A = this chain, B = another copy of it.
Amino acid sequence: MDRRKQQVLKAVVEDYVDTAEPVGSRTLARKYGLGVSPATIRNEMADLEEMGFLEQPHTSAGRIPSDRGYRFFVDMLMDTVVPPPELVERLRRLYAERVDQVGRLLRQTAQVLSEATDCLALVEAPRVEPVTFRHLQVLPLSERRAVLVLVTDEGLVQQRLLELPEPASEADLQRISAVLTRRLAGLTLDRVGHTVLRELYDELAACGALLEVALEALRPPASDEDHPVFVLGTRRLFRQPEFQDLERAQAVLGLVERQELVRDLLGRQGNEELVITIGHENPYPDLYDCSVVSATYRLGGEVAGRIAVLGPKRMHYPRITSLMELLAQLLTEALERTVR
């Protein structure tokens, strides 16, 4: 692919992102300084179409980028931009405010993200597995129920309901809490080896059954309640011309309403700092007309989760990626302050 073809492809993508209209050779020649005539551009576009980078919605319309075209653009052609300083400033101030609830911080991030991009924003709560225990406490709920509260080194708090095999006194629970904390603090679950377990059993022989229940509760991955996903900006999707088609919009709505699917979607993006998936690269057919841009945020140095925007393939990739990077950074910092 020679230099000029790249220029043409880039111009097509940028113009289409801007106008949502198929772009023709004349527009290209006029608006972008390519220095050649529309006829030449037509030839190039025909080539690009043959190579699979462009498509024609119908004969005698302009061209639009194909998935492959977007992919090439994103990988090779995209300008790097920085978010406008006013925005950066505004966000810095917003995130400088002390927020004392993790959930609110995440929700705020989703809100900003969707506002600034006119797309749907997805933000998952910190994944805290595997995790280093800091404190474990079993509190009585009722005769046969208790709640295990676990505090991690990262400063996150989770709770798990326990079904007690036998009634336990408050003192029992207190004792088991103390021992669990003493033994497990500083360890991750996978590093709770046999030795530690043995010792634990010895020490808590009296309440063996109870202990088992408690350990069991440590095992399962974060539950829905501990690990929610914030989805904001559904309405903004409808501002995009490609979602005037209600069928398609409904499909996306239905998908993002299912927490487990969203979590799966984010999970599949891996742990790369910044990931862009375009159209058919997405794992769900309902998203074949969408793109997802996601970034990681961190907690205690470790990747803690992803934030993402979901929108039409025709999104402003440079602007959105730069914003994502900024927000991921701000969120990481704010989280660190909130939770530590």
- Which A residues form the contact surface with B (CB < 8 A)? 100-104, 107, 134-135, 137, 139-142, 145, 147, 149, 151, 155, 157, 159, 161, 163, 223-225, 228, 232-235, 238-239, 244, 246, 249-251, 253-254, 257, 259, 338-340
Of B101, B142, B163, B224, which contacts A224 at CB under 8 A? B101
Residues of B within 8 A of A147 (CB): 151, 157
Instruction: State in angstroms the CA–CA spacing of A157 and B340 once bound together.
Output: 22
Q: Which 9 residue pairs are nearest across A and B when measured between Cβ atoms? A: A235-B253, A103-B225, A235-B250, A235-B254, A100-B161, A141-B155, A135-B139, A147-B157, A149-B149
Q: Would A234 and B246 count as touching, CB distance under 8 A? A: no
Q: Would B145 and A149 count as touching, CB distance under 8 A? A: no
Number of this chain's copies in the complex? 2
With both chains docked as a complex, state the minimum distance between the C-beta of A109 and any C-beta of chain B, in angstroms.
Answer: 14
Instruction: State in angstroms the CA–CA spacing of A239 and B104 once bound together.
Output: 32
Closest to A144 in B: B340
With both chains docked as a complex, state the minimum distance between the C-beta of A325 and any C-beta of chain B, in angstroms.
Answer: 25
Of B141, B149, B159, B234, which contacts A253 at CB under 8 A? B234
13 A–B pairs (Cβ distance < 8 Å), ordered by A: A101-B223, A134-B140, A135-B140, A139-B157, A140-B151, A149-B149, A157-B159, A233-B257, A235-B250, A235-B253, A238-B250, A238-B253, A239-B250
Residues of B within 8 A of A251 (CB): 235
Residues of B within 8 A of A254 (CB): 235
Q: Would A149 and B139 count as touching, CB distance under 8 A? A: yes
With both chains docked as a complex, state the minimum distance between the C-beta of A251 and any C-beta of chain B, in angstroms.
Answer: 8
Residues of B within 8 A of A257 (CB): 232-235
Closest to A103 in B: B225
Instruction: State in angstroms the CA–CA spacing of A223 and B103 once bound together.
Output: 10
Residues of B within 8 A of A259 (CB): 107
With both chains docked as a complex, state the minimum distance between the C-beta of A21 and any C-beta of chain B, in angstroms.
Answer: 20
Other A-B pairs, 9, CB within 8 Å; known A100-B161, A157-B159, A238-B253: A134-B141, A137-B137, A141-B151, A141-B155, A142-B155, A145-B340, A147-B151, A149-B157, A228-B228
Q: Would B161 and A149 count as touching, CB distance under 8 A? A: no
Of B103, B141, B238, which contacts A249 at CB under 8 A? B238
Q: Would B246 and A238 count as touching, CB distance under 8 A? A: yes
Instruction: State in angstroms the CA–CA spacing of A141 and B100 once bound together.
Output: 13
Q: Which of A101, A102, A232, A259 has the most CB of B within 10 A?
A: A101
With both chains docked as a complex, state the minimum distance between the C-beta of A156 and any C-beta of chain B, in angstroms.
Answer: 9
Instruction: State in angstroms the CA–CA spacing of A135 and B169 once bound together.
Output: 13
Q: Would B101 and A161 count as touching, CB distance under 8 A? A: yes
Instruction: State in angstroms the CA–CA spacing of A283 and B225 once bound together.
Output: 31
Instruction: State in angstroms the CA–CA spacing of A254 and B239 once bound together.
Output: 12
Of B140, B224, B253, which contacts A103 at CB under 8 A? B224
With both chains docked as a complex, state the minimum distance between the C-beta of A290 and any C-beta of chain B, in angstroms.
Answer: 15
Residues of B within 8 A of A223 (CB): 101, 103-104
Residues of B within 8 A of A250 (CB): 235, 238-239
Residues of B within 8 A of A139 (CB): 135, 137, 149, 151, 157
Instruction: State in angstroms the CA–CA spacing of A115 and B228 once bound together.
Output: 22
